[in-house]
Structure 1
Amino acid sequence: MPNRQKRTVFCVAGALGFVCVLTVAVSLGLPRWLHGTVLCHTGAQLVNASGAELDKFLGRLSYGLFQGERVKQCGLGGRPLRFYFFPGMIHVIPLGLHVTVLFFCGVLVLFSSLATGFFFFNAFGSPYETLQGPLGLYLWSASCVCSCLVMILFAAEVKLKHMSRRIANFNEVFDYTTYSETYDVSYWLFLLVFFLNALNFLLIRVAGIDFPFRQNKESEVTTGAADLLY
Structure 2
Amino acid sequence: MPGCFKRTLFALVSALSFVSFILITVAMASQNWMSGKILCKTGAELVNATDPELVKFIGDIHYGIFRGGKVRQCGLGGRRSKFTIFPHMVKKLNTALHMMIILFLCVAMSFALVSLGFCILNAIKVPYRAIKGPWGLCLWNIIAGGFAALAVTSFMAAVRLHHLTERIANFQENVFQFVILEEQYECSFWLCVASATTHAVNLLLIAISAIRFPKLKTKTEEANVTAEDIMY
Do the structures match in fold with TM over 0.5?
A: yes
Determine the structure 1 residue equivalent to 2:202: 200
**Equivalent-residue separation in structure 2 for 1:71 and 1:90 (angstroms):** 20
The DSSP-based 3-state class of the residue aligned with 1:202 is helix
| Preserved CA contact (<8 Å) 1:32 1:186 | yes
- CA positional deviation for 1:132: 3.3
Cα gap change, 1:82 to 1:159, in 2 (>3 Å)? same
- CA positional deviation for 1:164: 1.1
Report percent identity of matched pairs. 40
Any idea what the Cα deviations from partners look like across 1:88-142, whole Å, max 9, x if unmatched? 3122121110000011001100111100111111111332412233321011110
Cα gap change, 1:97 to 1:149, in 2 (>3 Å)? same
**Equivalent-residue separation in structure 1 for 2:64 and 2:163 (angstroms):** 15
| Preserved CA contact (<8 Å) 2:122 2:132 | no
**Equivalent-residue separation in structure 2 for 1:42 and 1:84 (angstroms):** 24
- Tell me, yes or no, if structure 1 residue 139 matches structure 2 residue 139: yes
Determine the structure 2 residue equivalent to 1:6: 6
Any idea what the Cα deviations from partners look like across 1:57-99, whole Å, max 9, x if unmatched? 0111000000000111101111111100111312212111000
Determine the structure 1 residue equivalent to 2:21: 21
The DSSP-based 3-state class of the residue aligned with 1:153 is helix
Any idea what the Cα deviations from partners look like across 1:171-220, whole Å, max 9, x if unmatched? 1111111111001111111221122111100111111269xxxxxxxxxx
**Equivalent-residue separation in structure 2 for 1:16 and 1:162 (angstroms):** 34
- CA positional deviation for 1:50: 2.4
**Equivalent-residue separation in structure 2 for 1:204 and 1:91 (angstroms):** 43
- Tell me, yes or no, if structure 1 residue 150 matches structure 2 residue 136: no
Segment of structure 1 superposing worse, 117-126 or 61-70: 117-126
| Preserved CA contact (<8 Å) 2:148 2:193 | yes
Determine the structure 2 residue equivalent to 1:125: 125
| Preserved CA contact (<8 Å) 1:147 1:191 | yes
Greater gyration radius: 2
**Equivalent-residue separation in structure 1 for 2:132 and 2:92 (angstroms):** 43
**Equivalent-residue separation in structure 2 for 1:7 and 1:28 (angstroms):** 32
Determine the structure 1 residue equivalent to 2:79: 79
Instruction: Name stretches of at least 5 consecutive residues in structure 1 with no aligned partner.
Output: 211-230
**Equivalent-residue separation in structure 2 for 1:11 and 1:139 (angstroms):** 17
- Tell me, yes or no, if structure 1 residue 180 matches structure 2 residue 182: yes
The DSSP-based 3-state class of the residue aligned with 1:90 is helix
- CA positional deviation for 1:168: 1.1
Q: TM-score, normalised by structure 1?
A: 0.87
Instruction: Name stretches of at least 5 consecutive residues in structure 2 with no aligned partner.
Output: 213-232
**Equivalent-residue separation in structure 2 for 1:133 and 1:127 (angstroms):** 5
Segment of structure 1 superposing worse, 110-119 or 121-130: 121-130
The DSSP-based 3-state class of the residue aligned with 2:68 is strand
Determine the structure 1 residue equivalent to 2:36: 36
What amino acid maps onto 2:47 in structure 1? V
